Each structure stands twice: as structure tokens, then as C-alpha cells.
């Protein structure tokens, strides 16, 4: 089994202006991330706009990602759906297409309980033969997965980790404390170093769509034992993180990458960002990183 650790970009899905998938740019972005030294490629997460894509489009993105990565790093695919049945079907398909691991978000929209969450994840795990990473994002799903639930789910062999995007460090810490041999990733870019120091394995990063080299360097400095440099880099992403409050965060990330010259295209309507005031704020902030990024603005 491949190791699940390090900095994993939560890749944006590139679109043309008509919102069709830009396959050539998807391939270019995968190469960009691998060149930056990432430890995996994650397609169809929140930044990948999986919530705005058809099943056929999701299968195409997984297939292209697996083909382009060509075994160089693990491929993570977001396969969580609202129902258990649909989640099982897409997760099985991801395995057939060659994904190494599936990230499964909590079912959303309808009210849920910890008991139902346990039943959902355990049933999916029993039905599929692929490592699973739970995706906790209470701001979007309306429920936080309790550390008690995670502790029970961690005993299921192919549930191998969790991405915690709660933004609550104590919540993530409880996941680390209450599990063994379980990959706890920070889904919040500002907590990656603290996750590593507490015993977690790294971060699944939206900001990596803008600055993959910067995000990777948090992990490489920490791995080398250079805490001071790792903290300096971790602290440096505060300005760009602050920009996420300007709108839908993953749409802001995509817009920022576009402003740097990466042809990720629009977010799908109605979530696209096309506002001069936001662009001006992003351009001003992005300029702060000019000396940290190779090929800035190219």
C-alpha cells in the first residue's frame, strides 16, 4: 500500500469559458504540482468543484489524472455523494480507473447523526476494496464527525485516514490522539505545521493551487527538522489565506491562480468570481509572494 502523507494539492478542475473541462490544462496542472514536489494528487475535492460535476465528468477527471500521474505519486479521488449507494458506485469506479485512495465527504444537505455517519462509512468500506480517507468539512455538510466516531471507523482496515477541514485544531488533535496508524491530514492550510508537530501526516491544500512550492516547503522543512523555517513559511501564507474571506473560498483560489497565469478558467456558475475589487485585492496580495515563487506570473 502506498503511503498517504505530506502535501497533497486539492486540485482545481480547469474549465474553458463555456465551463467544459479543459483536459490539456488539467494535465499541465498535474505536471506543475509534481514538479513542485507534492506527495500526491487529489482530484474532485471541494476545490475540484465535484459538487458541480456530473458522474461522467468525474469519471473522466479521475481517468485523466491517473493516466497523467502514471504512478509517480498516489492519486486521491473525491467520491463522496449524498447517498451511500451513489458513494459506493463512484468509489468502485474510481478503483477501476486506477485511483489509489478515495476521499469521502460526509453526506450533506439532509440532517445526519453520528450513528448514521458510522453506518455510512462502514457500509462503503465493506463494499469497496480501496483505501478511504474520511473528509470532515462541517461548514459545508452541517455536521462535524466526532472523534469517537472516527476512533471506531479507524478500526476498519481500509479506512486509513481523515482530512479535517473544520479549522478547529482541538478537533483535529482529538482525531490524532484517539487513533493509531491513522493518517490525519489538515484540510486547513493554516494548521498544516501544527498538524505535523502534533503527530498528523500533512495537509490537503487548496492554496497549493496558487503556490504549490510554498506549501510543499512547509513539509520539507519540517521533515528536515528545520522548525524555524517551516514556521516562517507557514506564517507567510496568512495574507493569501485572508483573501479567502472575499468570497467562496475555492472560487477565490481559482481566481488567484488565474491571475498568476494558470489557465484554470472560471468556477462553474453561480460560483464564479469576476469582480474588479476582488481582483485588485488579490493582485496586491499575490505581489507579496513574488520572491518566493519560481516563474511568478508566467
**Could you report the per-residue pLDDT of 110-131, keeping only the tens digit for each?**
999 999 999 999 999 999 999 9
Among the options 76, 118, 121, 135, which is catalytic? 135
Q: Is 73:37 a contact under the CB 8 Å cutoff?
A: no
- Burial tier of 154 (Cβ tally within 10 Å: 0-12, 13-18, 19+): buried
- 205: number of CA atoms within 13 Å, CB side? 35
Beta strands at 41-43 and 75-78: parallel, antiparallel or unpaired: parallel
State the sign of the Cα–Cα–Cα–Cα dihedral 18, 21, 24, 28: positive
Q: Is 15:258 a contact under the CB 8 Å cutoff?
A: no
State the sign of the Cα–Cα–Cα–Cα dihedral 159, 85, 63, 298: negative
pLDDT given at position 31: 98
Name the nearest CA neighbour of 25 among 264, 233, 195, 284: 264
pLDDT given at position 207: 98
Residue ranges of the chain whose pLDDT lies below 70: 1, 293-298
Whole-number mean pLDDT of the chain? 96
Q: What is the 3-state secondary structure (H, E, C) of the chain?
A: CCCCCEEEEECCCCECCCCCECHHHHHHHHHHHHHHCCCCEEECCCCCCHHHCCHHHHHHHHHHHHHHHCCCCCEEEECCCCCHHHHHHHHHHHHHHCCCEEEEECCCCCCCCHHHHHHHHHHHHHHCCCCEEEEECHHHHCCCCCHHHHHHHCCCCCEEEEEECCCCHHHHHHHHHCCCCCEEEECCHHHHHHHHHHCCCEEEECHHHCCHHHHHHHHHHHHCCCHHHHHHHHHHCHHHHHHHHHCCHHHHHHHHHHHCCCCCCCCCCCCCCCCHHHHHHHHHHHHHHCCCCCCCCC
pLDDT given at position 18: 97
Radius of gyration of the chain (CA): 18
The alpha carbon of residue 203 and the mean position of all alpha carbons in its chain are separated, in whole angstroms, by: 8
pLDDT given at position 294: 59
Among the options 5, 58, 95, 163, which is catalytic? 163
Q: Is 134:162 a contact under the CB 8 Å cutoff?
A: yes
Q: Is 163 a catalytic residue?
A: yes
Spatial separation of the C-alpha atoms in residues 96 and 261, rounded to whole Å: 34
Spatial separation of the C-alpha atoms in residues 200 and 208, rounded to whole Å: 19
Q: Give pTM, 2 decimals.
A: 0.95
- Burial tier of 110 (Cβ tally within 10 Å: 0-12, 13-18, 19+): exposed
Show the domains of the chain with their CATH numbers. 6-230 (3.20.20.70)
Q: Is 147 a catalytic residue?
A: no
Amino acid at each position: 500500500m502506498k503511503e498517504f502523507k505530506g502535501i497533497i494539492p486539492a486540485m482545481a478542475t480547469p474549465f474553458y469559458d463555456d465551463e467544459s473541462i479543459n483536459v490539456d490544462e488539467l494535465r499541465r496542472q498535474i505536471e506543475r504540482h509534481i514538479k513542485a514536489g507534492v506527495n500526491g494528487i487529489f482530484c474532485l475535492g471541494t476545490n475540484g468543484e465535484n459538487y458541480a460535476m456530473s458522474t461522467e465528468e468525474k469519471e473522466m477527471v479521475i481517468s485523466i489524472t491517473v493516466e497523467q500521474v502514471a504512478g509517480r505519486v498516489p492519486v486521491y479521488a473525491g467520491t463522496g455523494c449524498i447517498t451511500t449507494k451513489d458513494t459506493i458506485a463512484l468509489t468502485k469506479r474510481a478503483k477501476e480507473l486506477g485511483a489509489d485512495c478515495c476521499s469521502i465527504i460526509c453526506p450533506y444537505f439532509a440532517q445526519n447523526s453520528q450513528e448514521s455517519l458510522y453506518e455510512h462509512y462502514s457500509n462503503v468500506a465493506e463494499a469497496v476494496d480501496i483505501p478511504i480517507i474520511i473528509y470532515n468539512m462541517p461548514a459545508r455538510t452541517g455536521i462535524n464527525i466526532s472523534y469517537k466516531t472516527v476512533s471506531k471507523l479507524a478500526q476498519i482496515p481500509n479506512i486509513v485516514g481523515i482530512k479535517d477541514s473544520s479549522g478547529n485544531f482541538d478537533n483535529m488533535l482529538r482525531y490524532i490522539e484517539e487513533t493509531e496508524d491513522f493518517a490525519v491530514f489538515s484540510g486547513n492550510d493554516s494548521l498544516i505545521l501544527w498538524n505535523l508537530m502534533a503527530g498528523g501526516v500533512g495537509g490537503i491544500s487548496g492554496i497549493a493551487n496558487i503556490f504549490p512550492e510554498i506549501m510543499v516547503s512547509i513539509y520539507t522543512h519540517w521533515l528536515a527538522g528545520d522548525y524555524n523555517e517551516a514556521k516562517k513559511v507557514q506564517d507567510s501564507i496568512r495574507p493569501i489565506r485572508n483573501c479567502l474571506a472575499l468570497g467562496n473560498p475555492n472560487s477565490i483560489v481559482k481566481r488567484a491562480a488565474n491571475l498568476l497565469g494558470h489557465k484554470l478558467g472560471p468556477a462553474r456558475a453561480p460560483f464564479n468570481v469576476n469582480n474588479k475589487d476582488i481582483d485588485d485585492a488579490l493582485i496586491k496580495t499575490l505581489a507579496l509572494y513574488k520572491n518566493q515563487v519560481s516563474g511568478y506570473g508566467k
